[in-house]
Amino acid sequence: MKIISIRENPDYKDEAIAYFQRSWPSVRPEIYEDCISHAIGARGNLPQWYLLEIGNKIIGCAGLITNDFISRGDLYPWICAIFIEEIHRGNAYASLLMEKAKSDAKGFGFEFVYLCTEHIGYYEKYGFSYLGQGYHPWGEESRIYACNLQ
């Protein structure tokens, strides 16, 4: 099992784009293509995109970005697009992606990471605390969670 950073392994770019697009079909496909393509060689440390691989099969993904289409632009970075294939859920594999994003964020000098979700009780198991509600441009709300990296 390994976590693949697309920045460190740009040869995975096309596979990562396709995987994120399949995993999050409600997101316009050009969003992931543009974000992932421009992350490679970006001047700053963000964004970061990750794949989780078991054997030679990708089973999950996540990102570390500056804003997850949420009203709280004062908070960053955000762990986003966490996805694990249904057959592999229940094994805490998402926690591996979260830990990689947290480790990178801490290494980049951030004190906190954030995520937005509708899930209650899941992210708390991995060090996140509910912070409040945030608002998306398309009119929906999400719960905002924070994790102290110190």
The average pLDDT across 93-116 equals 98
Q: Examine the pLDDT at 6 and tell me if it is beyond 90.
A: yes
Nearest to 8 by CA among 80, 16, 134, 66: 16
- Nearest-angstrom CA–CA distance, 86 and 19: 14
- Nearest-angstrom CA–CA distance, 143 and 135: 9
Give the model's confidence band at 119: pLDDT under 50 very low, under 70 low, under 90 confident, else very high. very high
Amino acid residing at 113:
V
Strand partners, 135: 141
Q: List pLDDT tens digits, range 40-91.
A: 999 999 999 999 999 999 999 999 999 998 999 999 999 999 999 999 999 9
Q: List pLDDT tens digits, range 10-47.
A: 999 999 999 999 999 999 999 999 999 999 999 999 99
